[in-house]
Amino acid sequence: MLSEGGLRRRRLDAVRARETDVDGATDFDVAAFTRSARGTLRDVLDVEAIRVSAPEAELLGTLCVLEGATMAHLRNVLVTATHKDARVTAFLVTWAFEKYWIADALSSVSGSRATPTGSLPGGPVRRATGGFIAGRSIVGAHMVAGYLDDLVLDAAYDAVESDAAPPLRELLAVIRGTKSRHTAFFLGEATKRLASDPRSVRLAERSVQREAWPIGAPLLDAATRAAFTRSVFGGKVGEDRAEAVADAIAALPGIRARTASELARTLAEGD
């Protein structure tokens, strides 16, 4: 058992750790989330029986790669101060697990065997060096990235759902329901961290402006990326989806309207 001194030191360390958090960043119940994680979707739906059209299969196959890019993303994220935050990492461990099974279902429905096999831009040395300078403010930027990724992917699910038959709609509802908890976590964390840390805002804005969205987009070849942009953000409905994503990002504390409108433009143009 720890000595009294050891216990005191441990408590003090915990208090210091808490002080580095933003006020009230504990609204989302991470413990409840980890306890109720959704595993394979094959347990609740007859995934293999769902039939889709060729265009649906194409978009769902792309979504399979994008949902499966968790380790490629964590490679860039965990080399920064984000890995220090045990609450965030507890979430990310479960988030990756749920996304793995979403990708599995998408792979089955689309008939795509494509899995993410590349690396995302940056790489550990650049990200770790950048993270070294950014310190704990980088966590806020990572939360915005998670939120924006979810918004873009949700726009894609919306695009698939528009013409989907009931069995596919049912699957999409399960997927979107599962992902809604991820979005809630990222939104809550991003809002609180950006509201209390101007440096987080600057880092988040830079990331929104410079990175490709969604997070796994660089893993797609140019033709697949272009097709994704056309399917999700093409035409008037697509433009509205891009605007909705940008509006949600603009609603985050400190994010400038100009950054959001640039985002809407790049989503629609597929830059």
Partner 1 sequence: MAFDIDKYTATSVAVHWGDLDLESFREHPLDDTSLRTLRYMTDVEYHTVCYTRDLLTTPSHRDPDVSAFMTMWNREEFWHGEALAAVLHLHGVTVQYDELKAKRLKLGWKDRLDPIKQSVLGTLVGSDFIATHMAWGAANEWSAITAYNRMAELEENPVLAELLRRIAKQEARHVAFYTSQARARLAASTKAQKLTRFALKRFWAPVGSTIMDRDDVIHVMTHLMSGDAGRDAARKVDRSIASLPGLEGLRIVEDALDGLGIAAGGDDRARIR
Q: 28, 57, 75, 167: which one contacts partner 1 (CB under 8 A)?
A: 75
Q: How many CB atoms neighbour CB 114 within 10 A? A: 17
Q: At what angle do helices 138-161 and 198-210 cross, to 10 degrees?
A: 40
Q: 53, 121, 132, 180: which one contacts partner 1 (CB under 8 A)?
A: 132
Q: How many CB atoms neighbour CB 137 within 10 A? A: 21
Cα within 13 Å of Cα(199), Cβ side: 8
Structure tokens given for 212 = 């490709």
Structure tokens given for 35 = 């306890």
Cα distance between residue 80 and residue 130, in whole Å: 8
Kindly write down the DSSP assignment for every residue of 182-222, as one continuous string. Answer: HHHHHHHHHHHHHHH-HHHHHHHHHHHHHS-SSTTGGGS-H
Position 72 contacts partner 1 (CB under 8 A) = yes
Position 119 contacts partner 1 (CB under 8 A) = yes
Stretch binding partner 1 (CB under 8 A), from 45-53, 129-137, 150-158, 193-201: 129-137
Position 129 contacts partner 1 (CB under 8 A) = yes
Q: Give the x/- contact pattern for partner 1 in 6-45, rule: CB under 8 A.
A: ----x--xxxxxx-xx--------x---x--x-xx-----
Stretch binding partner 1 (CB under 8 A), from 89-97, 146-154, 171-179, 220-228: 89-97
Between 95 and 233, CB nearer to partner 1: 95
Instruction: Catalog residues that contact partner 1 under the rule CB under 8 A.
Output: 1-2, 10, 13-18, 20-21, 30, 34, 37, 39-40, 68, 70-72, 74-75, 78-79, 81, 83-87, 89-90, 92-94, 96-97, 100, 115-119, 123-125, 128-129, 131-132
